[in-house]
Amino acid sequence: MLVGGLDDEGRPVVHLGTKGPLTQAVRDRIVRRMELPVPPLAKYDDLLMRIIFGHELGHVLQADPEFENLFGTIDRRTYIPEDNYLAYLYSDKEMNADYIAACLVSSTDLGQKLAIPAPKFPPLQWRNWAVTHH
């Protein structure tokens, strides 16, 4: 598993090799935010892994100041899901990373084959996408 982003002091942080189960809550969040067909597709796990990779890549992109111009100001506070799940779920960092994942996955062969919708909002309006994908 890859987890990346900035810590509370603004330092880049990447964790590689952490292993953990994909919880039903995470699966539900991905299905809801990416507008995936329900019931699950045949290539569901493959698709989920691409979305998760896109999401974590989103955190890496957020850590690059160049991308702040692309997405506008992102609230960089980090919330721990076990401490405050809703604050974590609706934080700028998580919603923006999901927007980035939606952009990436919708443009892949698999995403197009499965008709995963590309966000209709440009990067500076990623919050508009987030409002309709919560």
Pick the closer one to Zn ion by CB: 60 or 97. Answer: 97
* Binding footprint of Zn ion on the chain (CB under 5 A): 94, 97
Instruction: With residue 36 as reference, give the H or E element that holds it.
Output: none
In the complex, least distance from residue 3 CB atom to Zn ion, rounded to whole angstroms: 7
In the complex, least distance from residue 130 CB atom to Zn ion, rounded to whole angstroms: 13
Q: Facing residues of 14 across strands?
A: 4
DSSP 8-state secondary structure symbol assigned to residue 10? S
Nearest Cα neighbor of 93 from 130, 50, 132 is 130
Pick the closer one to Zn ion by CB: 20 or 115. Answer: 20
The bridge status of strand 2-6 relative to strand 12-16 is antiparallel
Give the list of residues 6+ apart from residue 14 with CB closer than 8 angstroms, or none.
Answer: 2, 3, 4, 60
In the complex, least distance from residue 84 CB atom to Zn ion, rounded to whole angstroms: 14
Pick the closer one to Zn ion by CB: 92 or 94. Answer: 94
- Tokens (6 digits) for 32: 């809801």
In the complex, least distance from residue 98 CB atom to Zn ion, rounded to whole angstroms: 8
Pick the closer one to Zn ion by CB: 97 or 105. Answer: 97
